[in-house]
Amino acid sequence: MKSEPHGKNISEIEILNISSSGIWIYVNDKEYFLSFKEYPWFKNAKISDIYHVELLHSQHLHWPNLDIDLELESLEQPEKYPLVYK
């Protein structure tokens, strides 16, 4: 007996893991790591607030409860965005 093929993946964004060093996030078929060292705003955030993320215009990550916004390009090409929060 053959199984039916899987349907289309409708999830555009998913938090894969939260560890002591950062967050793994899956967006548009790519995986990104957001270290707490480079993105300290997430370090003391509630887990439920980290999981509450929206993808706007297929290129903009928005965490409404944390008031954090990131463009995917800044994750893909960090050298173009040299400013670091201190």
Q: How confident is the model over 21-76, as pLDDT tens digits?
A: 999 999 999 999 999 999 999 999 999 999 999 999 889 999 999 999 999 999 89
Q: Distance of CA 28 to CAs 3, 38, 42, 56, 60, Å?
A: 26, 22, 21, 12, 11
> For 84, phi and psi rounded to 5 degrees?
-125, 135
More reliable by pLDDT, 81 or 51: 51
Give 3's pLDDT tier (boundaries 50, 70, 90): low
CA–CA gap between residue 2 and residue 33 (Å, rounded): 37
Q: Would you state the pLDDT for residue 11?
A: 54
Q: Would you state the pLDDT for residue 9?
A: 44
Domains, the chain, in order of start with CATH, read: 13-80 (3.30.2020)
